[in-house]
Structure 1
Amino acid sequence: MNEKYNAYVRSVADYFIEEMKKGTALWQQDWDNAANVVPVSAVTDAPYRGTNALLLMAVRMSQGYGDNRWLTFRQVQELGGKVKKGEHGTKCIFWKHLVEKDEKDEDKTVERLIPCPFVVFNSEQCDNLNLKKFETPVHEWTPLEAAERILDKSGAKIEEIKQNQSYYVPALDKIVLPLRTQFKDAEGFYATALHELGHWTGHSSRLNRPILNKFGTPDYAREELRAEISSMMVCGGLGIKHKAQNSAAYVNNWIDVLKKDPKELFRACADAEKIKDYLFGIDKSLGLTAAPPVKKDKSPDNKEAKAALQTAALQTYKDLPNYQQKYIQSSMLNYLTQPLSNPYQFQKPSQKIRTIDIER
């Protein structure tokens, strides 16, 4: 089983490596129609998750399927349909929990996760299915309203300044974005903001991922891959157009990482799902998914601790571009002279700016 699973992992990683080389991977493309991007079961309406979701999204996009519903061969038969001649299914994996007696202690049990493959077909690969007509889900909120609510209720420190870079600063636990009016449209702003909010979830007080990574290293590429996949999942779930923003350096680093360790794609997708669940759970009134409670980090309460924080942060970011180093340094100095009441708390834009952005 391990050999078959490893071969499957390698085949999926190779697929996405080739897609990235061609510039056609999911996260390398703009989506003009983001509605119903997330694949779901045609029988239960439950969304596919992790690598299964990523793979089915990629297959759907490459084949041009308009329906996001998928079925196993047995489900096709149970719904009175049949798979069209010449069509091929897509192999996915689910994990089965197996409880066994501990060989060393008969009074104890051990749990194992067994990878189990299964094959699914898109509904458009089938004929005569007894399915209701494919419809776009209707929510009480628009995609942009939902994104704004997530940003607002996250409590994240978000600063918008006139410049051309977007990034998250772990040492300050703060997101820096260009002004909203610098984006071509509102969806571009929210897609970028949600990407950076994905990095924000990695803080030790939230999902606690290793995010203090040097620019250009494999670990930096791994975190960037998680944020990019999660942004794609979040935008797809909300119905926001996806805006590709991958540099050649990121793509090359991702390819190198997956070549050396194909299982990294599966770990990245699992983390991306956690990010998506966390962000969707910030505002439960959206009716998406639950998220763990947000832990509030404590700011340093004395000058010595603050000085140590500044020194550690500048040392961590010494390999970043000069403009980011200067910004972090000035922000640090400003932070150290401010009261401990979130001087960078996100400020809502004026209604005038918001209206102009959305109408563009």
Structure 2
Amino acid sequence: MKENLYLTFSLNNYLYGINTVDVEEIFTLPELTIVPEVPHGIIGFVNVRGEILPVIDLNIKLGYLSPDYRLTDSVVVLKCEELQLGIIVNQIHEIREISLEEITNELNQQRESVVVEQTNIIAGVVKFPDDIFILNNPRKWLEDGEIQQLISSQIYLKEEIFANYNIDELQANDTELLLLQKSIFCPNATLEEKKVFKQRADNLKISTKSHNFKNFKTLAVITLNNHLFGIDLEMVREFVDIRQVTPIPCCPTHIIGNINLRGEILTLVDLRGLLLNLPPQGVVVGSKAMVIEVEGIVAGVIVEEIYDVMFSLNLQKITAIPNSIHAINEQYCQGAAPYHEKIMSILDMPKIFLQGGLIVDEAI
């Protein structure tokens, strides 16, 4: 992906952005193992497929009070040279293309000074309708001594805790008793919430232990007419709000018009006719587009809702499109795959762009 693409997310009513170059994966918040004497801001560790991941609460690092954690929170896994770091976020938003010229150190006077002072974490702010705080490279968040302290904690946990834990040896009642008696992470959570946190941690440890990670691909997941579609994230430049469309005369109905994206003129297309044999519905209030680039061809594609911006899919789980999804034009799909408790169709974007009659070559 391009180096000026930023994953945006909200935390404690603020909007943040981190360069996608630094992002490894995203998963819902699991139970964390608490270890004493760790660097400031580290709230726990989790076993992710045999690797011990330290998790940071940015609220603590930035000097805020840390609110209770929720089942709807997520962990964004970041690269940090010698190790990986996880950060807890409240909600994942879009991927945006942001140039260095748009990042400024001129923050609003109303912003708390504690944020301004954390220059090792906050690189600057982008003045969108809502300010987006841009995070520095994660390696700058910790001192060398803190990195070594985390590595030592990882070794301890890998040898002494996770290696000796076997969930199959626990009975259901024993698990509930353990949650009530020994759960330190998120102590104010209900018993049912603690069980969900713990099950997530167990799933992270064992879910893909034997898989080859070359068989994984990161997808963006969107909806069209209540159908879920997955798109290879390598082809997605960013997601944008559609504010103004200039109609193009004498074009097929799937071409909605042109949009101006920071000086770049892009053609906006509607895939519903191609994929679902439905008439284009045009742009409504709140419409978004994903900017797709395939072999040098760039266009905006209308989406109804963005379900996920970085979904890690095991390619071994791709199957033929079920007969129950009869409305999908299978010609432009690579197959179907589970997405949580639903089924999504995987779009073949190169075929759509190059063979679907989607692009009009001649200038109007």
Same topology, TM > 0.5 = no
TM-score, normalization by structure 2? 0.25
Larger relative strand fraction = 2
